[in-house]
Amino acid sequence: MSSQYLLPCSCGKNLRVVAAQAGEQVACSCGKSASVPTLRELRKLEPAPPEAGSQAATGWNAWNGLIFSGGAFLCLAAIIGMFYAGVMIFRIEQSGATEDVSAVINEEEAKRVDELTPEMALSLYDDMRAEGLGHKHEPYWITYRRMAKEQQTLLIASGICLLAGLAGMVLSSRLRPKVVP
């Protein structure tokens, strides 16, 4: 870690500067800017206390850590959600189960009806009259389409969570407390 020096501002505060800033202008919290002297002059300044220096470098407190880990956790959960939804959508689409095959089914049913003998047709009619047509089933491709839609919703929600998590992680470092020497 490079050594830090205390550069006095005209307002009375000490600005923490590093050797790499030699010759540059630094802004003080009072609004003025102070010129950092050359490296040779900088070395004559009072060195910044090391423990305060390391605190300034990291600047993390419990609140920052909480936001950061919360953001990281959200990102991780979002990535898992996106991966799961992606795999599910891929599998549903690949299976071809979302394709409407009612035309094929109707054609096959019509063919079977055509092949019935009058006796068979009559007995089938009697069975239907006795038992009814049964429950109406949702065609499977409708079910698969709804499942795919649900996974798309999960994918979008996970994407929003990922952005929120990333924002939290970025924000946690921006929320670094201002070091007033």
Q: How far apart are CA 164 and CA 27, in angstroms?
A: 32
Q: Rule CB under 5 A: say whether 26 interacts with Zn ion.
A: no
Alpha-carbon distance 16 to 51, whole Å?
Answer: 13
Q: Is 179 in the site for Zn ion (CB under 5 A)?
A: no
User: Minimum distance between the CB of residue 26 and Zn ion, rounded to whole angstroms?
Assistant: 10
Give the binding-site size for Zn ion (rule: CB under 5 A): 6
Gap between the Cα atoms of 113 and 116, Å rounded: 5
Which one of the spans 10-18, 35-43, 47-55, 91-99 is the region binding Zn ion (CB under 5 A)? 10-18
What token pair was written down for 137?
């089933």
Integer Cα distance of 46 and 52 in angstroms: 14
- Applying CB under 5 A, does 11 fall inside the site for Zn ion? yes
Q: Which of 19, 20, 27, 30 binds Zn ion (CB under 5 A)?
A: 30
Given a contact cutoff of 8 angstroms between Cβ atoms, the answer to whether 147 and 88 are in contact is: yes
Report the residue number, 15 or 74, with the smaller CB distance to Zn ion: 15
In this chain, which stretch among 24-32, 49-57, 86-94, 134-142 interacts with Zn ion, using CB under 5 A? 24-32
Helices (H) and strands (E) in the chain, counts: 6, 5
Q: Please report, as ranges, the residues that interact with Zn ion according to CB under 5 A.
A: 9, 11, 13, 28, 30, 32
